[in-house]
Amino acid sequence: MKKNVLLAQSGGPTAVINSSIIGAYDAAKASGVVDRIYSAVGGIEGVLNENLIDLTDVSDEKIRKLRYTPSSGLFSCRHVLPNDFNDEEYRRIFEVFEEHNIGYFFYNGGNDSMDTADKLNRYAKLNGYDIKVNGIPKTIDNDLFGTDHCPGFGSAAKYINTTLCECAFDTFSYPNSKTVIIMETMGRNAGWLAASACLAQYNSKQIADLIYLPETAFDMDSFLSDISNKLDNQTMVFAVVSEGVRNADGKPYFSSSKNTQDKFGHHQLGGLASVLAEEVKKNIIKRVKTVNPDISQRCASHMMSKTDYEEAYLAGAKAFEFAMDGISGVMSAFERKSNSPYIIDIVPAPLEKAANTEKTIPRDWINAKGNNLTNKFKDYALPLIQGEVLLPYSKGLPDYVVLDEDRIQKKLPNL
């Protein structure tokens, strides 16, 4: 009897997370060795609640549209599995797996999701369940350990750079007004997204003047003097800051709600650009603009990197192929063979490593002063934003799709 596949997504969405799921879906369907392909509604919580959708019944038209739709098409959750394997949650999850004859479980997410997949794989092995559990990486933060980069990062970087470029053009249209513009990007402990803002150029000259990352200590006085020095010679100064920049003692420089932490102990961040803008206004110049691409940087599928979109798909397909080869407990990891031409390979990487280690930017990819990037970073990041995906539009807007309208209609009568 053929086994079934279960797909699920967890953590924050990306522009290409659904491309990964469709990669796994297509590979499973093409293999001929599986019967049904299910998705869990809302990650592992969908498994715990036995809230599954049979994707095998969904029209091919909808599946194709889902691939380029932003956000977690299978619905997401933020749920930590307990460390204690005796916990009821494990018993319940494997009960649902057995009831639905699940032989393959693929979990599509970031660090925390790889932790969940790792725990399920180890639990299965310890208890003799015949199930393959692999992870499909995604995170705009690009901080997953064990892979050259993460699906989702390239598209976020392309959106950030396009926005930066357009806002710079907007700002320098007033040749007689000195202006400071500050853009804030996501990135809690790793500055990959802010760093990516070094890619936008005009005539081979970087548009962003100053880039601040969590990897090096942030100091307000240095920041203000950096801005001030640049303003001596330029009409416009463009600074980019990661929301996660830290003091010399390693504490987040700014937290909009200092007392709130999420379930994983993360601080909720955001609003840094406004704080910095106020300091610039107080100390240097009144004309300061802020740009915060906010959640758009992780869901702007209208600006996907084609490289990212294709790689995300392959990462999903590979997770299934690894399982076919009898491999379980791995994440589809990118191994870079060369920058130019850009060549990658997708290899299995142990889940436990990816699960709880965050990858930060190597120090020698950042300049000595800690306010810009070196060419090593640019050589790394440039290939990841290449290529465009032409979306179909309907009535003037991208033709995105919701997987299960009835289910959603009940939960979200508005949509």
Residues 212-231 binding a copy of itself (CB under 8 A) are 230
Helix pair 306-324, 153-171: axis angle to 10 deg: 170
Residues 340-379 contacting a copy of itself, CB under 8 A: none
Does the footprint of a copy of itself cover residue 271 (CB under 8 A)?
Answer: yes
Query: Do the Cβ atoms of 150 and 137 come closer than 8 Å?
Result: yes
The only residue of 81, 291, 317, 344 in contact with a copy of itself, by rule CB under 8 A: 291
Does the footprint of a copy of itself cover residue 289 (CB under 8 A)?
Answer: yes
- Whole-number Å distance between alpha carbons of 7 and 22: 10
Please indicate whether residue 364 is annotated as part of the active site. Answer: no
Query: Do the Cβ atoms of 193 and 185 come closer than 8 Å?
Result: yes
**Binding footprint of a copy of itself, residue count (CB under 8 A):** 82
3-state secondary structure 246-277: ECCCCCECCCCCCCCECCCCCECCCCHHHHHH
Q: Toward a copy of itself, which CB reaches closer, 186 or 333? A: 186
**Residue 394 in 3-state DSSP?**
strand
Question: In what helix (H) or strand (E) does residue 180 lie, and over which residues does it extend?
Answer: strand 179-185
Query: Of the listed 112, 141, 308, 404, which one is catalytic?
Result: 141
Q: Could you identify the residue written with the tokens 């650009």?
A: 273
Q: How far is the CB of 312 from a copy of itself (least distance, A)?
A: 16
Stretch that binds a copy of itself, among 54-62, 104-112, 241-249, 386-394 (CB under 8 A): 386-394
The only residue of 75, 97, 309, 322 in contact with a copy of itself, by rule CB under 8 A: 75
Stretch that binds a copy of itself, among 87-95, 101-109, 297-305, 323-331 (CB under 8 A): 297-305
Does the footprint of a copy of itself cover residue 294 (CB under 8 A)?
Answer: yes
How far lies 412's CA from each of 157, 288, 298, 408, 415, in Å? 31, 39, 22, 5, 6
Taking the CA atoms of residue 267, residue 78, residue 410 and residue 21 in that order, the dihedral angle to the nearest 10 degrees is 120
Does the footprint of a copy of itself cover residue 87 (CB under 8 A)?
Answer: no
Stretch that binds a copy of itself, among 108-116, 123-131, 158-166, 332-340 (CB under 8 A): 158-166
The only residue of 71, 108, 111, 116 in contact with a copy of itself, by rule CB under 8 A: 71
Q: Toward a copy of itself, which CB reaches closer, 76 or 216? A: 76
The only residue of 238, 320, 334, 377 in contact with a copy of itself, by rule CB under 8 A: 238
- Whole-number Å distance between alpha carbons of 218 and 72: 34
Q: Toward a copy of itself, which CB reaches closer, 264 or 393? A: 393
Q: How far is the CB of 407 from a copy of itself (least distance, A)?
A: 8
Does the footprint of a copy of itself cover residue 62 (CB under 8 A)?
Answer: no
3-state secondary structure 70-84: CCCCCCCCCCCCCCC
Does the footprint of a copy of itself cover residue 201 (CB under 8 A)?
Answer: yes
Stretch that binds a copy of itself, among 24-32, 108-116, 328-336, 404-412 (CB under 8 A): 404-412
Does the footprint of a copy of itself cover residue 390 (CB under 8 A)?
Answer: yes
Query: Do the Cβ atoms of 194 and 241 come closer than 8 Å?
Result: yes
Q: How far is the CB of 89 from a copy of itself (least distance, A)?
A: 16
Backbone φ and ψ for 333, nearest 5 degrees, come out as: -115, 145
- Whole-number Å distance between alpha carbons of 52 and 396: 33
The only residue of 236, 241, 323, 351 in contact with a copy of itself, by rule CB under 8 A: 236
**Which pairs from 221-228 meet CB under 8 Å and 24+ separation?**
222/369, 222/371, 223/276, 223/279, 224/279, 224/280, 224/283, 224/284, 226/369, 226/371, 227/180, 227/280, 227/284, 228/284
Catalytically active residues are 141
